[in-house]
Structure 1
Amino acid sequence: MTLLELLIVMGLLAVMLGAGVGAFAGLDPGRRTALSTVTSTLRLARNEAVARRAGARVRIDVSRGAIRATGFRVVGTWRFEGLGVVDGFGPLAEIVGGELPFSRDGYMGRALDFSQGDPSARLEVAVQDDPGCDWGEGFDLGFVLRPVALGRSRLVEMGGAVGLDLRPDGGLNGWFISQSSGEDNRQVKGARTRLESPPGVVEAGRWSRVRLSHDGRFFRLYVDEVEVARSFQEGRLWRGPSALVVGGGPGGLAALVDDLTLAVAGTGYEALLPGGVDFAKDTIREILFSPSGGLDPIAHNAPIEILLEFDDGTNEQIYVGLYGTVEQ
């Protein structure tokens, strides 16, 4: 091999090696990992909100470089297809306080017919015995209801901390008790917050899907997936030592109830940014998604920008639109 040929080969090798090193350097896996971590967590929370039709949130800890998505997990569902036996999964549910027939005229199959049962008869679900059923950070309680007649009646009460009542005008009254700190920083019962719907949201003889929820900031009441009342109350809820009870209040309940479900705020998913990447100091600390998947209009009145800062002095922006879309 002549000297000229050797120089040509060495030049070609230099070009190939330089291009390869440049290509690998351009990949910058730390940058890609950071962007993927943030966008994936945001999309996870949005998808949870849409799937559960309940609020979800993302919390950002700037000092730790951590991002956490929290949605809801189902604790139990209960239906009434068996002859006197409550079907479903979750904490034990049983009928106490008297006879309570299963009507064939249910929403889907059979339903509990409180109008034909003993006034004191009620369904009790032992949520107080399930350590995983902690609704302090949020809950979503739903059922379908068909009043036979309208009157002032207890619909549900959970743990002595959350309740929903029927009014004679076809409206619904909700309430819950927040958690407060007492002496020696002990957790004690706090104030009671009330929620009232307009009249006529439910009608005698018509099935309606009713949902009561709290996402850590807002207490909401829905009828047929339409929000009919809302109240702002930030913080944990009180978790009392009693069961989830349906019916059985003073005067009984002249209604049929079917398809009872309960979900509580889960532990969530947390991810950390890789080394060499930080959230900007003024990054928003909490992002709330509404049940529709968009940004909660009460908490956010404009799209959200999240800025990631890299050690090399560059930055990347991630946007969350009002409809919940995540872009970079």
Structure 2
Amino acid sequence: MPAARRRVTQQDIARMTGVSQATVSLVLNGRSDADVRIAPETRERVLDAIRTTGYVADPIARRLAAQHNRIIGVFTYEPVFPAELGNFYHPFLVGIEECAERIGCDLLLVTSAPVVDGRRRMFHESNRLRLADGCVLLGQWLDPADLARLMDDGLPFVSVGRRDDAGGPVPYVGADYPGATAELVRRAAGLGHRRIAYVGTGSGPESQADRMRGFTSAVAEARIDGRHLPIDGRDPDEVLDQLLGERRTCVFVEEFADGVALAERAAVRGLRVPDDLSLVALGDPTRPATTDLAMTGFRIPRREMGVQAVEVLSALLEGVPTVTQRLLTCEPVEGTTLAATRD
């Protein structure tokens, strides 16, 4: 037997089982050479030696001897590691860790990927994703080309957040932004708001496009005037001027912090929320925003999305039938910033 402190090698396995190192390599790679037929009993003898010696501690050997490394990769294009308690991504990571621990898997946080043009690159020459059985993709934006390559390469993955097809159906666990947004529009319409606005990008990542889709469909259903006001590069005062000029009585903000900024500028002008202007936040803050207002809106089920993403990935790895595209219900937040219009 090799010394206790020395890592077991393929040569050690070959000596123990009376086969060549090439045969051990073929067994580890789960295949047979065209000129070498490995007898079932020989293959099993090699695998038994791997298990006995602890050679399965090597990630590749573990994958081939036990089918899975019990390692789940977590990749993001955005710098979310580590995440403080108040960070938007923290609940997602808590859910991912919680479920991984429950099913007996380790997490591999892929933080060494090089940054090109301000974003991490998933595929590069020292890519370590292959050490994992599969990966959870986390972040607001994912490269469609990378999704397509993951599918082509056959590496199991699940996205936290709905993703459009990339050469095939993408497994995801997302939030039902269209449903949550539409419900708030219906509520505003029921309170008498006939001229409302959506402030935000309304396009780009699926999470933003989905909110806009829910807003547009509900506005049409309620037969009210709903206007999209892009905010990128615009001063809050400029946006507020347009809202007041068009006599918008209720504002749906894609980003919580933009709602806070509009409320602050309204207060400077002597306007009160919600008496003079109602505000609705479509989700949790993704960037710091301090306010005393209890903003009406909804919460994203972030921890549960992380949990279920790992559950879906585990089912894919084990070949267990499961729903691979899930939208979870957002939690309504009553708040105090939406009231009946006085218009």
TM bucket, shorter chain: under 0.3
TM-score (norm 1): 0.25
Larger proportion of helix: 2
Higher relative contact order (CA 8 A, sep 6+): 1
Q: Higher strand fraction: Structure 1 or Structure 2? A: 1
Normalization by structure 2: what TM-score? 0.24
